[in-house]
Every structure is written in structure tokens, then in C-alpha cells.
Structure 1
Amino acid sequence: MATDRLTEVLDATYECLTRYGVRRTTMDDIASVMGVSRSAVYQYVNGKDDAFRRLAERLHTEALVRAGRAAAADAPYAERVRGVLDAKLRLVLRLTGDSPHTAELMDAKARLFGDLCHGFTAELRALLTELFTEASAHAGTTLPPPDAADVCLALVTGLESHPDAARLLPPATDALLTGLLGGAPQDRPAAVPVA
């Protein structure tokens, strides 16, 4: 039951974020969206900063779960890498598309969220490095796995501001992986499923 109420608090926090941004949102705003008193909101979060931090953590965690599923899929490497990159891109596109304010949750320099953003990117890098390490063991790669992961993350970062980013991600990933994996990505063997 408490988890459901926390979810409601975070949903209300997101709604306030889309309207007002982090700075202008108050605990009264969050309570008003929920239809409860401000003191009721304090039962689930320690204040506005805590609410926004938990919201950012929830969104980043959801994206990491999607990325982890993609990385662990029984699919060719190109598809798995694309899935990891898609998880990052979808999070960014959602946040930048919902409101000019929601992108604040992706600000790596923000006091409240910077460590979450850096941690998120580090987790994605680790997933990608692991995929390129597996690919290298099967057929080789043109760059060391950590460098290949960094190049892939840079690709997504570059696409994030493009108006047609979602459509461009698959062909851009395929083109990049053709170079990184030394051949047509669709011809690469699927990874051996991890038990």
C-alpha cells in the first residue's frame, strides 16, 4: 500500500515537473495534484528535493531494466546493442518531449540528479562493454570493448537532439556496428544465452 502511495507521489511530482519545473514546484503543488494535504505527502518523501530525486531514480531505473533485458536477449549483437542504446534514447526523448522542464532530470550537472545521470551512463557503458567483450571473443572487434561502448554512447548522445532520432537510431547503430564488429552486424552470431 505504501508503495502505491509513493508511486502516486512520484506521478504527481512528474506532473508538477512538466508544468513548473523543479525550482517552481512546491510540496503544496504535489499535494494539490494528489488531492491530499501537504503533510500526507511528507509521509512518503522528505521534501521536494527527495521527491524529485526519487522520481529521477525511478525513471533511470526503468530505462536500465529495459537496457538490461535488451543486453541479455537471445539475439544478434547488433540487436542487443541497439536495444541498450534505445533504452537511453527513449528516456531522453520522453523527458525532452513531455515538457521543456522534464529534461532537467537528465542534467548530469544538476545537484539533485547528477550522480544518478552519471551512474546511469556508467551502467549502460558496462552493459555495452560486456556485449563487445562477448562479440570480441566470438569474432573480434575493431576497438577495445570499453572504447566501442563509448563510441555507441556518443552516437546516442548525438542523436538525442535530432528531431527524427528514433527513426535514425537503427540505421545509425547498424552502420556503426558494421565498423566496430568488422562486418555486417546482422551476420554476427547471436550470443550464447547466459544461464
Structure 2
Amino acid sequence: MSGDRLTEVLDATYDCLIRYGVRRTTVDDIAGAMNVSRSAVYQYVRGKDDAVRRLAERLHTRALERARRAASADAPPATRVRGVLEAKLRLVLDLSGDSPHTAELLDEKARLFGDICHGFTADLRTLLIRVFTEAGLGGADPAEEEADENRPAGPAAEPRPSGGPAADARRPPGGTGTVGPARAVGGAVDPAGAADMCIALVLGLESVPGGERLLRPAVDALLTGLLGDAGAAP
């Protein structure tokens, strides 16, 4: 499959979504935007639904790559966190700015690509948890450590939950089950809780006029509370 031709199909699909939206766009519209026949479009995608899904995947993948670079940068934790959140906000603002229709590509409830949107947010959460963990946020609760030390060994020990519906209920929303639930540790928020707060913050800014302008001061204020001096703007 020619990557260049597929790119042209997805670019044409995006142009059509700007004008018609997801529901009204057809393969004929995509073909017309490319000045090719319907059959030519079908050489690269299975149909309109496949084209739209591939387009959503491409957009979210690019944004995730930006977030990963930010999370892995040789920079203070606050800068890395802001970079991850900026990647999400930038995606939303770009799509919303081009057309109200293209903003449909952000709908986590959409049949065609909702799982892509949901997975993107879960991946950002994982990146943020890693940054906060590396920054030394939270830590073990001394009382819990003492309880663990005094816990009887062997078969008589109290079993820890390992699966089933109850364990699933404690997993983070959209998560992979590799990170525990958010909790306060010794009066501080743990990395998972901090990541959830950051995601909630950027979700709120997405719907606020001037959200991009407010991102930096809002994130700085949050991180100063979470990380102390490490959260101050560099």
C-alpha cells in the first residue's frame, strides 16, 4: 500500500469532514476531493468508516508522540507535565478551530473511533503517572508499611485482592490495570491522583475560551501545590 496515497486519502477525508461532518461524508465526497474515482479510494481504505477511523488514529498518534517527547525530555517535572497536557489541548484546539465537524473526532463515545480517543487519554495518564513518580511525588504510607510488616506470613496472611469485579472496580478509568487507584498518602496525593487532577484540569480548559492562554498559569498553580518548589515555573 502506498503510504503517500493513503495520506492523500486521509487528507481528503479531513477536508470533507470540515464541510460535511462524519455522518454526511461519503466515499464519493472523498473521491471528489482527490479528483479520483470511487474505486481508486477503495484501493487504500475499506470505505468511509475505515477512512475516518484511520484519520482519527493518525491525529491522536501524532499528539501522543508529542506528549511522549515532552514526558521524556531532559527537563524539570513541571515542564514535562505541561508538555504532556499541551499536546492534548493543542489537538483539541486545532480540531475545534478548523470546524465544529472535525471536533467530532474527539468524541470518546463515537462508534467509529471512541476507543482511540479513550485510549489516548489513558496513555496520557500513564505518561503523567510516570513523570510524577520520577519526581518523587507521594510515597509509601508509614502506617501501611508498619501494617504490612506486622501482617502474618504464610496461609494465615490476609489475602490481597488480585482479580475479579472488585479488583476491576479499583482500576483507573480507561487504565490497563497496572496502576493502583488514586489515594492520599501521608497527606499528599499519589502519582495516579496527581495525573487524574491534571487530566481533569486540561479537560476543563478545553471548553473555556482562551484555554490555551490559561494552561500555563493553571498548571503551574496545580504543580506548585503537588510538587512544591519543583512545580514552580522555571
Question: Structure 1-normalised TM-score?
Answer: 0.92
Equivalent in the alignment of 1:107:
107
1:155 corresponding residue in structure 2: 201
Match for residue 145 of structure 1 among 173, 191, 195: 191
Spell out, residue by residue over 1:11-49, the C-alpha distance to the aligned partner (whole angstroms, 9 max, x if none): 000000000001110100000001110100000000000
- Aligned AA (1:148): A
Deviation (angstroms), 1:113: 1.2
Q: Which has the higher contact order (CA 8 A, sep 6+)?
A: 1
Residue in 2 aligned with 1:168?
Answer: 214
| Residue 43 (structure 1) aligns with | 43
Distance in structure 1 (CA, Å) of the matches to 2:231 and 2:117: 29
Q: Return 5+ residue gaps in structure 1 as ranges.
A: 189-195
1:33-83 superposed Cα distances (whole Å, 9 cap, x missing partner): 011101000000000000000000000000000000000111111110000
Which residue identity lines up with residue 175 of structure 1 in the other structure?
A: A
Q: 1:83 to 1:157 in 2, by over 3 A?
A: same
Percent identical: 72
RMSD between superposed Cα atoms in Å: 1.9
Measure, in 2, the Cα distance between the counterparts of 1:138 and 1:111: 38
How far 1:183 moved relative to its partner?
Answer: 3.3
How many residues end up aligned between the 2 structures? 188
Larger radius of gyration: 2
Structure richer in helix, relative to its length: 1
Task: Return closer, same or farther for 1:150/1:16 CA change in 2, 3 Å cut-off.
Answer: same
Q: Deviation above 6 Å: which 4+ runs of structure 1? A: 137-141
Determine the C-alpha separation between the residues in 2 that align with 1:123 and 1:138: 21
Distance 1:110 1:138, change over 3 A: closer
Structure 2: segments with no counterpart, 5+ residues? 141-184
> Are 1:68 and 1:84, in contact at CA under 8 Å, matched by a contact in 2?
yes
Q: CA deviation at 1:187?
A: 7.4
